[in-house]
Structure 1
Amino acid sequence: MTIEVPKKKLNDVNISTDVGDIDFEGVRANTATIWNNISDVNFNRSQINSVEIKSESSRLNFNHTSFNNGNVKIDNGSIKGDNSIVRDSVFIIERGNINLKNMEKTCDLKAFAKNGSINFDYQDKPKDTLLKLNPSDGKKVVNNPNFEDEKTGNGKNILEFYTNHGDIKIN
């Protein structure tokens, strides 16, 4: 099913599904709430001011997208972001990896992977960022030369990552 909406900013988007992929293309919305059992969720060139996603089994993908006030919880799957900005958000995955690449320099988020790794790669030099990296049973690797003692600038943007069984890597 395809639903096309006017190009103006939406107030609320609410989607609940058992199966079937969910694709957002160029969507601007105040809030998006997605509840699904087994489906992929894809955002491309979208801007969501407040997003909540809960899923049993899903692959969340976002590209050239802005998330603010995000709350994402996936039991089994993956979270992949590219060329995006995430602010004031929490990503939780029970089984699977979180891979965020070419991310904007002022991202601010918490992430937890119970059985999986977290990889975060900056597009440009990070700005005013503090790293709080906590792998229980894994390695912590910071390959980005802009961090001194896991901090750049005043540290007002915080990347707080936890894994139980997995590595945390910052590039």
Structure 2
Amino acid sequence: MSASDYSSGGKVTKFDKDAYTRLTNFVDAGNADMAPFLKPSGDITLDSTLGTRIMPGSSADWPIVGAVQKKAGDFGDSVHSQLVGQENEWTQYTKALAQAADVFEDCDDLATMTAQDFQSQYPDVGGGVTYSSGGTSSSDSGSSSNNSGTSESST
């Protein structure tokens, strides 16, 4: 966003289709950056085979080597599960964000729309976060904060 998109206090007072397109382009670029990170590469992968790749010595001669290899395999499997979950969530989020672009058929500036209205029309963009007049809460973590969605407009 350019400096002209900000007013007193550094608050965004305009979020039009062009700004939304820049946001989705930024997210898509992040998706391209994340994809190689989430995929296995080389000989060492963060999955259950990690323990077979770690060879600090013979487990027959030193039992702790077997324990390290088992824990490495457990760790790799856990990381792999988390990365697959994150990749799936990211994919769903980017799809939801792209689908929400049609909001500009009815609205020229998202800064004039409440978070509650946007969420009711595009619930998948919120990722499990619900908005109310008192703030936000997450159905995933059970946490809440008082981020009342006040907006300023320039005239």
Same fold (TM over 0.5): no
Provide TM-score, normalisation by structure 1.
Answer: 0.20
The structure where strand makes up a greater share of residues is 1
Q: Larger relative contact order (C-alpha < 8 A, sep ≥ 6)?
A: 2
The two structures have a TM-score, normalised by structure 2, of 0.21
**Radius of gyration: which is bigger?**
2
